[in-house]
Amino acid sequence: MIIANGMAEIHFAPLQGYTDWIYRNNFARFFGGVDAYYTPFIRLESDNTFRNRDLRDIDPKNNSVPLLIPQILPGNADEFCKLTQLVRSKGYKKIDINLGCPFPLIAGKKKGAGMLPYPELVKEMLSPICDFPDVLFSVKMRLGWKNTSEAYNLIDIINNLRLEYITLHARIGIQQYKGTPDYESFSRFYQACEHSIFYNGDLKSGKELQEILEKFPKLRGVLIGRGLLSSPWVVADFRKNETKPDGERKNQVYAFHEALLNDYKNYLQGENQLLNKMKTLWDYLLPETDRKMVKRIRKSTKLSDYCSAVKQIFE
């Protein structure tokens, strides 16, 4: 396979509930191949405090991946400053800003993708960028909340900001994660945007990655989320231009699973928490697995049942 753009960067998307520090560290140890990892969004609570789990997730002591970029979800300039100060105080020099979250509880408050229809709010929220000259900011956004002209209408604001790059998920917010990516609207924004751009949306294989890099040759890179939760080897294989035999692949994924189990066991309290955490892995992992086996996993109420169901899959 000829790599379309050998210089293209590949980043691992943030996925709230999935890509925490334990997951990211083990992913990098067993698969790797990606240039940067993001934390799921960090936000302020209504009483202006931070969530403990967010603090743990960005604690440099907990993180061992080569490049970690914390992501913040501010609703206004004041929250932007508080979140940036927190992240910067931990020693990070790059921060990603979330303008793409479609969760109704967030978007309903005009945060994440819910802010996209309001250019004045976006401008105000991003205005403190110039107050942090030692930080490199990027923005992760969608094509809009309700329609694809919303992100396009922000292009002058965005082009005038000091940003390292934009990551554009080629969907609108009300689509959530369904439907197909809109390449035409992506292309319109990509042509007009003066910052480097990363493509995001539905990449699952080396072939799809290659095709998108060919379709949009000016891309600085791509961001992949669910494709890596399902097939964590995809990027490493793409980089090395190889395909491992099935047996070797199974052993690799099993070893990854066992390391996650071990690390979550040391961190989470009690069997129930651990079991629930491990079950969520199977929301995406190895989608071609026999559905009966996955059902056994989902129905397990004891860790021993869970482990024997998983063992059967990897035998």
Ligand X SMILES: Cc1cc2nc3c(=O)[nH]c(=O)nc-3n(C[C@H](O)[C@H](O)[C@H](O)COP(=O)(O)O)c2cc1C
Positions touching ligand X (CB under 6 A) are 13-17, 40-41, 71, 98, 100-101, 140, 169, 177, 200-203, 224-227
Instruction: Provide, rounded to whole angstroms, the least separation between the CB of residue 53 and ligand X.
Output: 12
The 3-class SS string of the chain reads CCCCCCCCEEEECCCCCCCCHHHHHHHHHHCCCCCEEECCCECECCCCCECHHHHHHHCHHHCCCCCEECEECCCCHHHHHHHHHHHHHCCCCEEEEEECCCCHHHHCCCCHHHHCCCHHHHHHHHHHHHHCCCCEEEEEEEEECCCCHHHHCCHHHHHCCCCCEEEEEEEEHHHCCCCCCCHHHHHHHHHHCCCEEEEECCCCCHHHHHHHHHHCCCCCEEEECHHHHHCCCHHHHHHHCCCCCHHHHHHHHHHHHHHHHHHHHHHCCHHHHHHHHHHHHCCCCCCCCCHHHHHHHHHCCCHHHHHHHHHHHHC
Q: Which residue lies nearer to ligand X by CB, 177 or 314?
A: 177
Q: Which residue lies nearer to ligand X by CB, 84 or 98?
A: 98
State which residue has the least CB distance to ligand X.
Answer: 225
Instruction: Provide, rounded to whole angstroms, the least separation between the CB of residue 251 and ligand X.
Output: 26
Instruction: Provide, rounded to whole angstroms, the least separation between the CB of residue 55 and ligand X.
Output: 16
Q: Which residue lies nearer to ligand X by CB, 78 or 202?
A: 202
Q: Which residue lies nearer to ligand X by CB, 230 or 271?
A: 230
Instruction: Provide, rounded to whole angstroms, the least separation between the CB of residue 70 and ligand X.
Output: 11
Q: Which residue lies nearer to ligand X by CB, 3 or 15?
A: 15
Instruction: Provide, rounded to whole angstroms, the least separation between the CB of residue 189 and ligand X.
Output: 15
